[in-house]
Amino acid sequence: MFLIPKTTLKSFDPERSCFVLNEFAGAEFSSAVEMLFAAKTVNNKKLSNGFIRHALDEYKHCFIFINIKNQIISEYKINNKELSFVPSHIYNKGYIYKDHFIFEKKKLNDFAIFIGANEEVAEKKLIAFSNHLKKHRTPAYEEIQNILKDEERHAKYSLEFAKRNNSLFSYKTKLIKEKTFSFFRHLYANSLNKFSFIFYPILIIVIILISFVAHFLKLKKNITDEDVMKNIKPNSIT
């Protein structure tokens, strides 16, 4: 799981929980796609099979998250189209780049560190979210515990591969770098929602002010019959 949503919830909010589950599903689905590309590209049959097994795990996790989400939606009769899982949205949300796969831009050793670092970050966030669900959705909590075992295994074998193929100094440096990048990437993604409630009202006020000013502007008309914009009011341009 390469990009993980913010999971801090103070009290059980069914709709918000569904949103988080949907984002987890998107992250898992994206990871699966990246792994399939790596399996297709790598020139090593053993590694290719490993990437395929990893991808199958991620697809399985995706479907589990979607199933938990759908159960909550059904039970609480939530009607929100934004909670539908649409695979193509992984591009819009930045889970997968439109112009390249991560495996194309990283060497195999670096890709292993990237996987291990992000799996560890995902594991911590998923633990926090599952603990939130524990009191309210015990079956869901138990299903997520199985996902956590897979995530731990993914991180373990990825980092073990990286250790074998990097010097200790190089391994430690790259691991710190990936975890730092991951931290700021998630901080940025989460801040978009956090600050939207501040900037949206400001934007609305600015639009109202511009409309107010435009209403009192007296712009000269200089329109000929050949002017394609002759029917447009001058102040509408503002």
On the question of pLDDT at 226 being above 60, the answer is no
The reply to whether 204 falls in a domain is: no
- Of residues 21 and 236, the one with the higher pLDDT is 21
> What's the CATH code of the domain at 31?
1.20.1260
The reply to whether 226 falls in a domain is: no
Each residue's pLDDT tens digit, 180-206? 888 777 666 555 555 555 656 776 787
Residue the block writes with tokens 């799981």: 1
Return the pLDDT at 93.
Answer: 78
Tokens of 159: 């980092």
Give percent of the chain above pLDDT 70. Answer: 78
Number of domains observed in the structure of the chain: 1
SS3 of 113-167: HHHHHHHHHHHHHHHHHHHHHCCCCHHHHHHHHHHHHHHHHHHHHHHHHHHHCCC
On the question of pLDDT at 24 being above 90, the answer is yes
Phi, psi of 88 (to 5 degrees): -65, -20
Return the pLDDT at 219.
Answer: 53
- Of residues 119 and 228, the one with the higher pLDDT is 119
Note whether 116 and 159 are within 8 A (CB).
yes
Return the pLDDT at 56.
Answer: 98
Return the pLDDT at 32.
Answer: 97
Each residue's pLDDT tens digit, 82-95? 899 988 888 887 88
The reply to whether 32 falls in a domain is: yes
- Of residues 41 and 181, the one with the higher pLDDT is 41
Return the pLDDT at 60.
Answer: 97
Structural domain harbouring 170: 14-198
The reply to whether 174 falls in a domain is: yes
Return the pLDDT at 224.
Answer: 55
The reply to whether 6 falls in a domain is: no
Return the pLDDT at 220.
Answer: 56
Separation of alpha carbons 231 and 44, rounded Å: 67
- Of residues 231 and 87, the one with the higher pLDDT is 87
The pTM of the full predicted model, rounded to 2 decimals, is 0.75
The reply to whether 186 falls in a domain is: yes
Each residue's pLDDT tens digit, 101-153? 999 999 999 999 999 999 998 899 999 999 989 888 999 999 999 999 999 99
The reply to whether 83 falls in a domain is: yes
Q: What is the mean pLDDT of the chain?
A: 84
The reply to whether 220 falls in a domain is: no
